[in-house]
Structures are given as structure tokens and as C-alpha cells.
Amino acid sequence: MEPSTSPSADAVPQAHLVDRHPEVPADQLVAQMVPPPMFDEVSFASYIPDPNEPSQAAAVRKAEEFAHQVSAIHKAANKKSLFGKKKQVSGAGLYLDGGFGVGKTHLLASIYHIARAADPASASFGTFGEVTNLVGALGFANTVERLADNSVLCIDEFELDDPGDTMLVSRLLTELSARGVSIAATSNTLPGQLGEGRFAAQDFLREIKKLGSIFEAVRVDGPDYRHRDLPPAPEPISTELLTERAAAVPGSTLDDFDALLKHLSTLHPSKYRALVSGVASVFISNVHPVDDQAIALRVVALADRLYDASIPVTVSGAKLDQIFTEEMLEGGYRKKYLRAISRLLALSRFDAAA
């Protein structure tokens, strides 16, 4: 007699991201502005500079000096005058400019941890997208008030490709700096622009005209650590094997790529963190290149949240380094797409290693 192939009576049904409909109250958006879990324990001491890239060691020194400067400014800003008013002290600014995967987020998170050690409620950390989402959810004035008591606001992956968002955040940072909040930011220089001087830094300072005088731009050079000595993108597996592997991983989700893209369109990107919260591993079938900008940007946002949570990704269909068409990669959002590919490849290799 052949063994039965029917599901076990106590088998756990396969979970799907498309069945999740998270709601995130606006007031929780500030509370969740912390570094990704993978940066919970980082410090300046744990950053290992590449000996072949002297700018990395120099960046560590500058970031550590800035972190201590932040604490001094915060104390001065909270010191009352003889008339009981807080002193008018402007915040400092540090901008870490470099390519993908050179440790800028590690340094940014280290600044955050130093600030929190001095005052547990005095620092916020978020990506550029999360900051714009915060303003959209709370309103501009409310966002300023909620962040005005910070010693520092850390913004990862500052973006210059949307003029409206850039100027909105510029205005926010101007208001916060005037109230004594220091600003630390990172951004990515495209690989083809490395060696062309301080291209990204000049763009950043030009766009944030009012803040240009307070920001010190620091270069961080080096190859993407996520790609160092690693093989090319893993080959996709068959949909049948994908389904089997998903069923074997407790807490995993399994979704068809097009169905997942459709579901993402129904959620504000501020909810993507909650969408993948608690998921052990993500399996996606029938992946194919994306050629629509709106859809591609949702994929970028999801990739960021998956990477933040260190959630392995396994796919069938196209390879993950082919998820955006060549035309998309040559467009105005090239920087975002390359970052997403880098992160998805890291997550897919993490799964392959497991």
C-alpha cells in the first residue's frame, strides 16, 4: 500500500503576506523609530575599518566625535537662562556619504546608541522614507513638536530623487536644528560616481540650503560588504520545491509575486514593517522583472523592511538581481533599485547558507 499524501490532520496551514492587513496607529510611528534589529548591539568599537580604505577609520573618528558633540549641545539647549527660558542653541549636522554596504548605517546606529545612553528618550532613527511617512501621518507641526526634545535625529538613506519630499524634510530639519536637535544622515553614492569627488555630498548640501552651514560631509569609501567574496545571486528554485520548503519552515509565508504586488498597493508603506513583523522567512513564487515605477518603489520599500528584520527570502521564477528591468535601472530611481537588489541578494544568500 502506498503511503498517503494527504495533509496531516494537525498540519499548520501555510501563512501568506497577502492575508495580513496591519493597522499602525500614528502615535506609534515615533516610538518605532529605532535602528533595525541587526544594529541593536553595534558600536563604534565594533566597526572594523577596511585597512585598504583609510576613509573608513577617519569616518569612525568623525562619527564618534559628533556623537559626543550631540550630548553637549543637548545639555546646553536644555539649560535654563536666568529668566527660566531654554537657551537658543542650534544642532550640529553630520552627513556620511559613500557607496552601498560600507558601514554607514552601522556608524549612524552607533551615534543613536550613544545619544540614548545619555538620555533614553532623546534619539530617533529612521530612513528618509520613514521620516516622510511620519510627517504624512502626524502632520508637519505635530512631527516637529514630537521630535523637538530629541538630542539627535538619525536619517538613513537620505534621498534626493523626489524634490517634494526632499524639500519637505529639509524644512523639517531646519525647524528641528533651530530648536537644538542635531541631525546625522547617510546617503549612497552610485558605484559609477565613486571617485568623482563629493558628488552626492554636493547634491545634499545644495538641496538643503539652510542646513548646509551646519553639516559636515564625511566620505566613507569601500566595496559593498554584502558582496565581498560572495557567489553570484542564487539560482531560483522550482515553484514545487519552493512550496515544500515554505511548508517546512515554521512562521514562514508563501506568496505569488503578482498577488503580493497587488496587496502592497493596498497598504501605505508605513505599514510594511508591521506586514512582515514576526515572519521567519519569506517565500515568493513566480518572480519576474518589474517595469512599472510605482510597483518597483513598493518592492524597494518591502525589501528595506525585510532587510531591517533580517528575514531570509527565497524565490522561484527570475533571479533577484533581475527583479528590475534594465530600463528601470537606468532611470531616476537607480540608486533605490540598486540598494534593493543588494539587500535582497544578501537575504537570499542568508537563506541559502541556512
**pLDDT score for 194:** 37
**pLDDT score for 24:** 81
Q: What is the pTM of this model?
A: 0.75
**pLDDT score for 74:** 87
The residue that leads in pLDDT, 213 or 258, is 258
Tracing cell 508637519 back to the chain, one arrives at 140
Q: Which three cell numbers stand for residue 91?
A: 544642532
**pLDDT score for 101:** 75
The residue that leads in pLDDT, 65 or 1, is 65
For 182-235, the pLDDT digits (tens) are 999 998 654 444 344 444 566 666 666 666 667 788 988 887 665 554 557 788
Residue 244, pLDDT above cutoff 80: yes
> At 338, is the pLDDT very low, low, confident or very high (cuts 50, 70, 90)?
confident
Q: What is the mean pLDDT of residues 39-55?
A: 93
Fold classified for 28-225? Rossmann fold (3.40.50)
**245 SS3 class:** helix
Across the chain, what does the average pLDDT equal?
84
Residue 301, pLDDT above cutoff 70: yes
Please give the DSSP secondary-structure letter assigned to residue 286: E
The residue that leads in pLDDT, 52 or 99, is 52
Looking at 12-16, 166-170, 263-267, which range is the least confident one?
Answer: 166-170
Looking at 97-101, 240-244, 322-326, which range is the least confident one?
Answer: 97-101
> At 86, is the pLDDT very low, low, confident or very high (cuts 50, 70, 90)?
low
Name the β-bridge partners of 156.
127
Which one of 6-10, 23-27, 59-63, 86-90 scores highest in mean pLDDT? 59-63
**71 SS3 class:** helix
Please give the DSSP secondary-structure letter assigned to residue 7: P
Q: What is the mean pLDDT of residues 276-299?
A: 95
Segments making up each domain of the chain, as ranges: 28-225, 230-353
**pLDDT score for 189:** 56
**pLDDT score for 5:** 45
Please give the DSSP secondary-structure letter assigned to residue 324: B
- Give residue 113's Cα distance to chain centre: 17
**pLDDT score for 98:** 83
Percent of residues, the chain, with pLDDT higher than 70: 82
Minimal CA–CA distance to 235: which of 171, 116, 320? 320
Residue 92's identity, in one-letter code, is: A
Contact 88, 45 (CB under 8 A): no
Strands 93-98 and 123-127: unpaired
Percent of residues, the chain, with pLDDT higher than 90: 50
> At 11, is the pLDDT very low, low, confident or very high (cuts 50, 70, 90)?
low
What is the CA angle 107-112-115, rounded to 5? 130
